[in-house]
Amino acid sequence: MIRVARSRSSQFENLEFELARRYTVELSSITLRLICSIATLHHLQQRELFVKIKNALKPRGVLVVLDLVESNSLVERMLDVVGLGVSGGLRLIHNGRLKPPLEVRKAWEQHGQHDSYSTVSEMRACGHNSTGSRVKRHLLWRYSLVYQKR
């Protein structure tokens, strides 16, 4: 994915893409204008990582997160039911089947054994509920968080 991102953005000289392990990167020694995380945070200790990410942002720097969410209200659970239909329909359109093959389902089950999903309320409570922050719930078990450091 890093290779593809680099090739698709080669016309921009001020972009860098880096693959890093959360435990080996020292965020306190760098400052960034943009930090983007897609479907990663549910694998990590989110609360402690958010403090480090916020500190690594330059003033007016932006954090953008799209990740999986845990439902905790009736409205969100209704969205989950709608999401089941949408997800199945998309899978049928793109793959010609309602369910992935058994080996794919087993791989996803193993992949998610240690995942930890936050609720929208928990994400708002992570210190991003201040001015310059937006957390939204989306269809297909996702939330987005956009935070701009002051």
Topology of domain 2-71+115-148 in CATH is Rossmann fold (3.40.50)
Token pair, residue 47, equals: 């609360």
Binning pLDDT at 50, 70 and 90, where does residue 11 land? very high
Distance CA 135, CA 55 (A): 19
Distance CA 39, CA 141 (A): 11
pLDDT tens digits along 71-86: 999 999 999 999 999 9
pLDDT (mean) for 2-8: 92
pLDDT (mean) for 4-8: 93
Q: What is the pLDDT of residue 139?
A: 93
Q: Is the dihedral of CA 61, 67, 70, 74 positive or negative?
A: positive
CA 46 from chain center: how many Å? 11
What Cα–Cα distance (Å) separates residue 78 from each residue in 6, 73, 86, 145?
39, 9, 13, 21
The DSSP symbol for 143 reads E
Phi-psi region of 66 (alpha: psi -120 to 50; beta: other; left: phi over 0): beta
> 136: number of CA atoms within 13 Å, CB side?
8
pLDDT (mean) for 20-46: 76
Binning pLDDT at 50, 70 and 90, where does residue 100 land? confident
